[in-house]
């Protein structure tokens, strides 16, 4: 796959070895490790008083809502992995990215550097999204049909509204249900905790794409990280 920058950027894997964060590769993808990481990465910077609400739980509940609403299982699984890159890049909240862009623009008095920052974030996400979906033999976002993209985006927005209303006392004011439709959730939005979120993410993925595909992806990952970088 295409490198995103010439100089490597080392980042820890779960076992303490390192990967090159600007060289997305399907061999770096393991759903089990993704589930573990996403179950410990909280949305909204972990600020809800109810407790940490993880990216993994968001992904599972949104996927189940799509299925409850009669969406094609392919669209549902595309949603499940739409934030998969965050297990490698972290969850940069939208306000944080907006703040960084605003400070860059304030310092330079030009719009160009702020746009470059946003473009770089988008390229990183796109690069790893392509690697993740390719590793699972699913179409990457660049190949999604317009209808698939619309459904994934719409559910993401509905989940944001539902999560804000459930997790914040004043969530209803900012995300009223008449503007952000309530998705057909399987249960109430209450923080699950990492163990439950991790298990639910893996079970749902196995249900939608098959246990064999998860295991093949894991074996490919193990072979990849066992190969010295200079031989890849």
CB 204 within 8 A of CB 63: yes
Residue 227 pLDDT: 80
Task: Pick the closest to residue 159 from 52, 41, 64 (CA basis).
Answer: 64
- Distance (Å, whole) CA 195 – CA 176: 31
- Number of domains forming the structure of the chain: 1
In this structure, is residue 15 part of a structural domain?
no
In this structure, is residue 117 part of a structural domain?
yes
Which domain covers residue 196, as residue numbers?
25-231
CATH code, domain carrying 175: 1.10.3210.10
In which band, very low, low, confident or very high, does the pLDDT at 231 lie, cut at 50, 70 and 90? low
Q: Express as a percent the part of the chain with pLDDT over 70.
A: 98
- Distance (Å, whole) CA 119 – CA 128: 14
Model-level pTM? 0.94
Residue 67 pLDDT: 99
Query: Is residue 10 helix, strand or coil?
Result: strand
The three state secondary structure string of 188-206 is CCCCCCHHHHHHHHHHHHH
């Amino acid at each position: 796959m295409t490198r995103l920058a010439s100089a490597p950027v080392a980042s820890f894997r779960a076992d303490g070895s390192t990967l090159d964060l600007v060289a997305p590769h399907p061999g770096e993808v393991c759903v089990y490790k993704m589930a573990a990481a996403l179950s410990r990465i909280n949305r909204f910077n972990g600020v809800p008083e109810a407790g940490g609400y993880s990216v993994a739980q968001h992904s599972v509940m949104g996927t189940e809502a799509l299925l409850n609403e009669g969406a094609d299982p392919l669209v549902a699984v595309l949603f499940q992995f739409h934030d998969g890159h965050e297990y490698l890049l972290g969850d940069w909240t939208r306000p944080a990215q907006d703040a960084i862009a605003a400070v860059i623009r304030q310092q330079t008095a030009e719009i160009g550097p702020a746009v470059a920052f946003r473009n770089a974030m988008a390229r990183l996400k796109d690069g790893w999204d392509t690697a993740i979906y390719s590793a699972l033999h699913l179409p990457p976002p660049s190949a999604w049909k317009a209808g698939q993209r619309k459904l994934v985006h719409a559910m993401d927005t509905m989940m944001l509204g539902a999560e804000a209303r459930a997790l914040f006392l004043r969530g209803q004011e900012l995300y009223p249900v008449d503007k952000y439709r309530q998705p057909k959730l399987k249960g109430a939005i209450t923080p699950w905790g990492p163990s439950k979120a991790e298990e639910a993410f893996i079970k749902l993925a196995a249900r939608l794409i098959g246990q064999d595909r998860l295991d093949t992806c894991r074996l490919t990952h193990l072979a990849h990280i066992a190969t010295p970088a200079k031989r890849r």
